[in-house]
Structure 1
Amino acid sequence: MRLVHLVLIAIAAFAGIVAAPLRAERIKDLGGFQGVRPNQLVGYGIVVGLAGTGDDNLEFTVQSMKGVAARFGLNLPPQLNPALKNAAAVMITAELPAFAKPGQRIDVTVSAIGRAKSLLGGSLLMAPLLGADGQIYAMAQGSLAVGGLGVQGNDGSRVTVNVPSSGRIPDGATVERAVDTGFASAPELVFNLTKADFTTSERVARAINDRLGAGTARTVDGVSVAIRAPLGEDVRTALMSEVENLTVVAAEPRARVIVNARTGTVVINAAVRVGPAAVTHGRLTVRIDEAPRIVQPEPFSQGQTALEPSSNVQVAEDRNPMFLLDPGPRLSDIVKAVNGIGASPADLVAILEALKEAGALKAELIVL
């Protein structure tokens, strides 16, 4: 009886392993909720404190510095046009995370837009960051961290390491306005897949309904799944957390072969199949060596020196055996067959294109 009991336990454990979902992924790794996304911010500002590597008398930089001075009660004469080698006009970019609240700090990237050679050692003066709607969402200011270096000699020689005309300010902006995501008041929560797939969308809706009750989720299309949820930030936050951590088996992706013709990179996913086909691939190499000779016709004193051409032409053809692809081979079989004839990435591209034209390649061939 004890032996029978152990056998039954082993069978149950094996059945559990077989029944366990393969390639199960969390829903949060397949996409995100609509409205819960970052927003891009952009602004214009002035970087000061440069060691003579600024814009050097660029008109809009001068105008900006006059505007900065006017805000502090200093009126510069209109005809004054100083050479601002220690200042540079810059564009500022940042990403406002979802649910960012006033007072939180975000990183900013600062890039020169004029003739500034380097922003090393500079400080950004306070500048507003605007959203797509033209509203101010953050204020940026601080010292730049520049990972590049640029040095120029009097003779025009120059050494540049990385990009010294761009830098970052960690926690360089303070959030001044929050963005309403609408997740607390929307009639439904909508979950969007990163990549459209009707099978995966249906499986996500089914997993949510199995956990939260029938009719809770419905598929809108191959990307979106609508989820019924009660109003209230606390209730919906708990619901979103529960939904994100559910696991589903993502659908097998479409069969695709990606070819980068510039680098010779070929990527084949596991869903690729080929029909029955016979393939042979050979290369013809023609080599011509020129070895001209200088000759002196007889008699030596009266003959004229001449250049006699001498060419050596060789033709070699690689003899690669034909290999047969049985119906429905998998990725490993294709790789073995191609490696068996010693095909290079360029040869592999030619073979795949020929298989596609012959109708034997059951995949989408994408050439970058």
Structure 2
Amino acid sequence: MNLSVGIVGLPSVGKSALFSALTKRSTGGGRSTTATVPVPDERLDVLAEMVHPKRVAHAGVQMVDVAGLMRGAAAKEGGLGSQFLGQLQGVNALALVLRCFDAPELGLEPPKPLDDLESMVLEFQLSDLSRIDKRLERTSKTAKSGDAAARREEKTLLELREALDAGRPAKSVEVPETDAAALKDLALTTLKSLIFVANVSEDDLAVLHNPDAEDPHGVRSMIADIQQAAATHEAEVAVVSAQLEAELAELEEADALDYLASLNVEETGLSRFISAAYRELGLLTFLTAGEPEVRAWTVRQGAKAPEAAGTIHSDIERGFIRAEVTQYEKLVEAGSQQKAKELGYTRLEGKEYVMREGDVVYFRFNV
């Protein structure tokens, strides 16, 4: 499946700098603000050493640097703007960038990430309310004529408006699948999954990864507050440093990892960001390993084997017979696919098998 994340933020939070650092793409000079980045996955390198494929293909995440969000925009004529809303329509999740670093040289006040967060959430709620009210005007007129579909839609719209009026997101309302499809064109922002991206300085990132280090800027408290807010909003948190990621982008991979290790940081910001997105969206990765290619594939948690097969090709799903499944760790332990079969690590699974993280799979099919 395709995974797309919109990066959103108020002015001066480091949103575009973060996009550029994570994607190694510039947002200046009229260049595209959309980029697909490979999902870091060391397992692919291990499998490639085992089967010597012609190519290695990572799963990809599309990142969108969404047009700037201003406080009070939703209340103005035109709302959040067609460009802003248009960019959000195709994304699976919103990454809300929160400034957690001091920048007095830029004339910025001390960071207040929770205030910024509530401002953005309020803008999304007001925008959704405006679109629901406009839709209700049309739908209610049709409902009065006795149209059953319009009455059902009116009921759903009123439930959504009640939730938003109470400060709850549209995704808190249980909407039947058929009704949700009818309202898809509304593209409600508060239906989307959220990731809170705490953008910290390089020094403060090191503080967070070194328990004994002093905390002169109170970054530990800021992150704790953001995590608490995330629990309330059913969101995930990713702590990154756009400043550090920009520096790492200029280094060779081995040098970048060495530098991170010197800070006692195990993962890049990109890895933490993508991990948060996968958790929030309920996704997992399965792997295929053969002579043509070693590849990572993304599928939703709870997907059964035929659905996973369909992410490779619809013909494989349609003609699904069985799946040969070996857990990645067991395959590595065995040292080869043939040895894994001999040791009984490889299983034959049918249509009801629920995919698990790290499954290495070969699908048998016939069309």
Q: Under a length normalisation based on structure 1, what TM-score does the superposition of the two structures give? A: 0.22
**Structure having the larger proportion of residues in helix:** 2
The structure with the largest alpha-carbon Rg is 1
Q: Under a length normalisation based on structure 2, what TM-score does the superposition of the two structures give? A: 0.22
